[in-house]
Structure 1
């Protein structure tokens, strides 16, 4: 199929031959589809706009193949269709090409008027504010969802309209109105709703789009010259169980925010505690958790749009990675102190650890946001970084930190168990070691194993709720472990109240003399 080299002279004949070969695609293999797509790539650069009908016919024929057969070639075929539509749009005349599976339409704009792009299945009204910025647009209408993700069996989907504007990227603009013939036929009962969505490379997303039942039309404030697919589907309303999970998230995040604030106030108010390096490390983690849950709660309860959504998503991405680096820094400090028996005192540790946690992750997230122009942040706490990008820029870094922490934690456990079982150790020392082991284990379970539950959370509602509770209450666990139930902290607080005179207690309720604190903590 690709043995013949395509030139300007034989392009039309080559296209006709390829069209004839693809007229029946039901039984074709995936390798045959891939070879045809490669042939189309050669043909695309030699096809003139006036001869593009055959190219679109071939692409339409390919869409008759099964989903499994098309799987490897979906992205390439979509890109080819967009490039061909763009090439057609660059010609001097408007064109409309109709086939059984895909249509291509181009339109030239009058800068002083709004415009309309219409096909058999779709009608799109473009406002004057957009037509004044460019000379035209092109539309690819897919009558099958094979190149995208199909909806569930009990859902319906209209045609998929891929709208592009020549030379500009449309984002947060005046709304574009989209009417679909199929949607006009739908009847909606109390258990269903119509949702206007677009394809964001991995799933159907409703960001920036809304449905107006009064006119039975979609309104979207964005389109893109790349892969912005506008569609809509008829789906069931949100199930009550999802509302339960949402309320659990809000309650757990709120509890952690309050707990982190209390913990930070305790450390900063007692001079003896805030001078201890271990409590400085705890405080850094508490600040990161406080910011993280504040960001999650904002995404859960506040209605955000446009730049606000992207800004909060960017910050939550940054803060989440910083939390795990803070956990790594604390785990490393414990490892050096117990396993390596290394003097872990570091001058200006707060500044150095903060630069490590926030500077490293800030640089990584900043570079990512700059390269992608922050296009992949969404307004949900559990999906603020859209897949598959969260795999590379969130999941993989987090799993690496958890793996390293697990190895260090195993060494710490082994060292402390051996130490506690030696005969030379007294009962009080053994109890102290076991107490420290319990605290370290709980902290690692809270920040490590809790997040690993997320790998199976999608398989069961019980796992999902467990994941939300364990990770949503991290701030509360931190307060209990190193604050309320920590002997060192309780002794410091009691000493502060006992040593301060009645006349000054109300003013300096959390002030402790340095010398007394040192005696108590030592």
Structure 2
């Protein structure tokens, strides 16, 4: 009898020692002997003694019915919704009873150590891009039942609220390194992200340590936002004025001396006119709408703004394609209905993409958020902020495919122009037999002319759009990008004036500079 009592007492003491207070679980699991600490935490947090910690709203440790949907909010910024099917899966086949244990809390993100990735050694040192950070530096822990929960047919929904300006957010969970060295990575497997503007909603098919990774967004003060708005509106108004003049110049040049290059410039100028004019209309029309009103006019303006932007990218890319045929293929080449074929691509592809987006209901009123209070700082008729996949559609149809490809291809074309000019200048200077002063003077004049040609071509080929990457780095980058791209119409006007002067000089005399003529006229024979 005494032996039996002793065994029962020892068993009770050992069980009591194993069931430590929930306040001490995290501290004990962070000891060096518990690696990785996350597995230790998941094992012990379900069997700990709550004690006084139950009064802490950030720690929820209670039994819930597995037959009903459960909604909890450990903090005002974090909430979760677990369907009944997920709770039923967490019970396990051998467990009886009507309830399961649910544990949810938040943990500081500094406790999660990222695995180091080996990089190839390079002599060129390039700065790393800004690393994504955990929203609020908090990780939401979700654990239910006795068995791991994965591959749920009905996902659990996690809500992360934010009241400050953040970049694009991505829902992730903590995945331990296979080396079991206490490190790991943030993974997106099984999690979908939806950004409503005020909160990130994560839909995940498992339970784990969850967080939202956000890209650091460059904060712009209210005064800078006002200055950028004035620069954009004034620059777009000037672009509308100068593109109209450029259209008149190109039409006159086309009637006097029909050339394929002039036709391409004419189409690009028309696309720029549509872009800046529609942008001004979209910006000013949205002021006539109430806070919750969109209207079919705003949706139509958003459609035309997207269409004109895609048309501008298309014709800018076709400018680079035209230059490629002139410099790489045959200069005097005949292509039947050349401008008609280019027009099918330049106007047809943007129309098709914009039509598909319009049928999907993408367009509407877009709210620009203030950096401090997340209220609507500005509005424009564009892709509606209420559309679920607005960020994805906007990224694919404006940045990833048309913008990036256009900048990449046209940058190669500009490099080819510089190479051709260098070879032509080297060959022409090598055949001259005049004095050194005259050679240096002529070399300097030709260098200035080539620099002006390359600078003008860089604007025609749309390379200022590539400065969009600088807007994520510094405030001066935002100003430079805004000024250059709002004044595209002015640059096109200067290019048309340069072509007019070149055409007159070619008519007054014979060809004085064969190298520059190939670059400036860029035309096919009819």
TM-score of the superposed pair, with normalisation by structure 2: 0.51
1:248 aligns with 2:237: no
Partner of 2:113: none
1: CA distance, partners of 2:495 / 2:304 = 28
Partner of 2:407: 402
Partner of 1:202: 195
Partner of 1:125: none
Give the conservation status (yes or no) of the 8 Å contact 1:316–1:384. no
1:415 Cα deviation from its structure 2 partner: 2.1
Q: Deviations over 1:257-293 (max 9, x none)?
A: 1111001112213454561111111111100000011
Partner of 1:319: 308
1:480 aligns with 2:494: yes
1:373 aligns with 2:349: no
Partner of 2:247: 264
1:290 aligns with 2:273: yes
Q: 2:397 aligns with which of 379, 393, 396?
A: 393
1: CA distance, partners of 2:220 / 2:445 = 54
2: CA distance, partners of 1:202 / 1:359 = 32
Partner of 1:299: 282
| Secondary structure of the corresponding residue to residue 378 of structure 1 | strand
1:340 Cα deviation from its structure 2 partner: 2.8
Q: Deviations over 1:46-92 (max 9, x none)?
A: xxxxxxx989x96xx6476776534999xx99x8578xxxxxxxxxx
Change (3 A) 1:80 1:337: same
RMSD of aligned residue pairs (Cα, Å): 4.9
Change (3 A) 1:437 1:297: same
Q: Mind listing any 5+ residue stretches in structure 2 that lack a counterpart?
A: 1-41, 43-62, 90-97, 109-134, 144-150, 166-192, 199-218, 368-378, 385-389, 433-438, 510-524
Change (3 A) 1:271 1:17: closer
Q: 2:139 aligns with which of 44, 65, 69?
A: 69
Q: 2:345 aligns with which of 335, 347, 356?
A: 356
> Which structure would you say has the larger Rg?
2
Give the conservation status (yes or no) of the 8 Å contact 1:273–1:279. no
Map 1:181-260 → 2, pairs under 5 A: 201-204=194-197, 239-260=222-243
1:307 Cα deviation from its structure 2 partner: 2.4
Give the conservation status (yes or no) of the 8 Å contact 1:338–1:416. no
1: CA distance, partners of 2:141 / 2:240 = 45
- Structure of greater relative contact order (alpha carbons < 8 Å, 6+ residues apart): 2
Give the conservation status (yes or no) of the 8 Å contact 1:256–1:474. yes
Q: How many residues align?
A: 325
Q: Mind listing any 5+ residue stretches in structure 1 that lack a counterpart?
A: 2-13, 27-32, 45-52, 83-145, 154-199, 206-235, 496-520
TM-score of the superposed pair, with normalisation by structure 1: 0.51
Give the conservation status (yes or no) of the 8 Å contact 1:257–1:290. yes
| Secondary structure of the corresponding residue to residue 346 of structure 2 | helix
1:467 Cα deviation from its structure 2 partner: 0.8
Give the conservation status (yes or no) of the 8 Å contact 1:285–1:327. yes
Partner of 1:510: none
2: CA distance, partners of 1:376 / 1:337 = 42
1: CA distance, partners of 2:142 / 2:344 = 44
Change (3 A) 1:18 1:69: farther
